Amino acid sequence: MSAELAHVTVLLDEAVDALAVRPEGIYVDGTFGRGGHSGAILKRLGTAGRLIAFDRDPRAIEAGKALDDSRLTLVHEPFSAFAEALDALGVAKVDGVLLDLGVSSPQLDDASRGMSFRFDAPLDMRMDTTRGETAAEWLARATVQEITEVVRGYGEERFAYQIAKALVAARAGQPVTTTRQLAALVEKVVRTREPGQHPATRTFQALRIHVNRELEELSLILPQCVDRLAAGGRIVVIAFHSLEDRIVKQFLRDASHPVEPPRGVPVRAADLPTPPMRLIGKPVRPGEAEVAANPRARSAIMRIAERVA
- Asked whether the predicted pLDDT for residue 2 surpasses 70, the reply is no
107 is in an annotated binding site: yes
Query: pLDDT tens for residues 128-166?
Result: 999 999 999 999 999 999 999 999 999 999 999 999 999
pLDDT at 260: 72
Query: pLDDT tens for residues 25-51?
Result: 999 999 999 899 999 999 999 999 999
pLDDT at 123: 96
Query: pLDDT tens for residues 70-89?
Result: 999 999 999 999 999 999 99
Taking the C-alpha atoms of residue 157 and residue 163, their distance in angstroms, rounded to an integer, is 9
Residues in the chain: 309
What topology does CATH give the domain 118-212?
DNA polymerase; domain 1 (1.10.150)
Q: 3-state DSSP call for residue 50?
A: strand
pLDDT at 172: 93
pLDDT at 269: 62
68 is in an annotated binding site: no
Can you list the positions of beta strands (E) in 122-276?
229-239
pLDDT at 171: 94
> DSSP letters along 85-107, please?
HHHHTT---EEEEEEE-S--HHH
76 is in an annotated binding site: no
Taking the C-alpha atoms of residue 80 and residue 85, their distance in angstroms, rounded to an integer, is 9
User: Are 147 and 164 in contact, with CB atoms under 8 Å apart?
Assistant: yes
55 is in an annotated binding site: yes
Of 260 and 200, more confident = 200
Q: Where in the chain is the domain with CATH 1.10.150.170?
A: 118-212
36 is in an annotated binding site: yes
79 is in an annotated binding site: yes
Taking the C-alpha atoms of residue 305 and residue 32, their distance in angstroms, rounded to an integer, is 20
210 is in an annotated binding site: no
Superfamily for 12-100+214-307?
Vaccinia Virus protein VP39 (3.40.50.150)
Q: Where in the chain is the domain with CATH 3.40.50.150?
A: 12-100+214-307
User: Are 229 and 97 in contact, with CB atoms under 8 Å apart?
Assistant: yes
Of 31, 208, 181, 237, whose CA–CA distance to 108 is shortest? 208
What does the mean pLDDT of the chain come to?
Answer: 92
